[in-house]
Amino acid sequence: MAIMRLRREDPRVVGSFKLHRRLGAGGMGVVYLGSDRRGQRVALKVIRPDLAEDEEFRIRFAREVSAARRIRGGCTARLVAADLDAARPWFATQYVPGPSLHDKVHDGGPLPASQVAAVGAALSEGLVAVHEAGVVHRDLKPSNILLSPKGPRIIDFGIAWATGSSTLTHVGTAVGSPGFLAPEQVRGVAVTPATDVFALGATLAYAATGDSPFGQGSSEIMLYRVVHEEAQLQGVPAALAPIVHACLAKDPEERPTTLQLSLRLKEIAAREARAVPESRLPPAPARSAAEPTVRARQSTAGRSSQRTGSGQEVRRTGAASATRRPRPQSGAGGARRSGSRPRTGPGRTGSGSSRRTVPPDRRLLRQRLFVFVTVTLLMALGIALAQGCESEVRGAAPAERVSSEHVSSGGSSGTDASSASR
């Protein structure tokens, strides 16, 4: 949705909302981007001045507000405020960031099957809530679907039909968008929830192909094709073609319900998301340690060879070896000179077939770990010994001082005793 600056004739304040930008204009009026005093952003629709005096358009506008109030759920923009008695009636809904489905396909091309199915499943689930409220949208099309970060949202209930209201459609006229209208709308008969199912099928076909299933042309030509010709679904992915074809059935009774659509499209979206073609997967990054591993496996394969009587080596069980080692082996790495002898030793055999080869990187890791643990233990032991020796030295020094003092005192007392005896 393109955001434009306000024009000179545009209001700056409507109700308690300050207007910032234009979001778009339609047959009923202009939609603005506004905000309230708390900073909450809203999409505010104002009826055009030339239509504000038309009683039929006021009724149609009041119907849109009534439909927005009746619907519960996250499929539509929440109604914030409205004033139907103003000189230019208006109402504000929660602002939904994101492009419309029409702009998304027009700018970026058709959507993949998994994304089309996911959008269709969310829209079907949203239409369940709309129809449970007794409302039929009657103008579901790509430009009335916004792709928000939280999922698609249905907007513009301006020509919605609610239970107990008149159609506001004159004889011989059709209200809606050619190419997305159902045959019963063109004929002027009563609309039902199946009417929105037909429009949803045409919308999914557009999302998958970038064009209406009834082609292009004047309104009269498009309406004739909708009633009398079959939809063109050649570009629709095979996974989606049957369900889209069922939605575009001429007889409303033959179309699936919105609940059936939601469940079926969820299954298709999950299946298509898992079925990613191999060609679209990114190539595996090359590892620098792959070369030593291959050389080690080739050496092991060379040691498993046996020499024949003529001095030539014969590789045993080549097929089994290839099964265990899917990587290609170089001839230079697998060949051994006739004079060399197979390595033997404790736990090893000359053929090497029963020996489990440890890749060099793991063996090096184990060696480093062993050295690290050994050095750590030795350092801890050395520190403990040093602390023990230091404590012994500190404990021995006072003892030596006490002994020397005792000896000196004993000597002096002995001298006194001898002098006294004399």
Q: Give the active site residue among 83, 85, 139, 416.
A: 139
Query: What is the helix (H) or strand (E) element at residue 241, kind and residue range?
Result: helix 241-247
DSSP summary character for residue 143 = G
Q: How many Å apart are CA 332 and CA 304, to the nearest integer? A: 15
For the chain, the C-alpha Rg in angstroms (whole number) is 43
Residue 170: closest CA among 186, 182, 190, 188: 188
Cβ atoms of 271 and 239 within 8 Å: the answer is: yes
Burial of 144 (C-beta count, 10 Å sphere; 0-12/13-18/19+)? buried
Q: How many Å apart are CA 200 and CA 124, to the nearest integer? A: 8
Spell out the residues 6+ positions from residue 79 whose beta carbon is closer than 8 angstroms to its own. Answer: 65, 68, 69, 91, 92, 93
Identity (one letter) of the amino acid at 179?
G
51: number of CA atoms within 13 Å, CB side?
16
Cβ atoms of 6 and 22 within 8 Å: the answer is: yes
The single residue listed with the structure tokens 């679209």 is: 280
Query: Is residue 50 flagged as an active site residue?
Result: no
133: its two tokens: 């409220």
How many H-runs (helices) and E-runs (strands) does the chain carry?
13, 13
E-only strand ranges, 26-155 = 29-35, 41-47, 79-83, 90-94, 135-136, 145-148, 151-154
Cβ atoms of 186 and 175 within 8 Å: the answer is: no
| Nearest-10 crossing angle of helices 290-303, 360-421 | 100
Neighbours of 139 (CB within 10 A): 21
Identity (one letter) of the amino acid at 277?
P
Identity (one letter) of the amino acid at 338?
S
Whether 104 has a binding-site annotation, put simply, is no
End-to-end C-alpha distance for the chain, whole angstroms: 128
Cβ atoms of 145 and 203 within 8 Å: the answer is: yes
Residues serving a catalytic function are 139
Binding site, annotated residues for ATP: 45
Binding site, annotated residues: 45
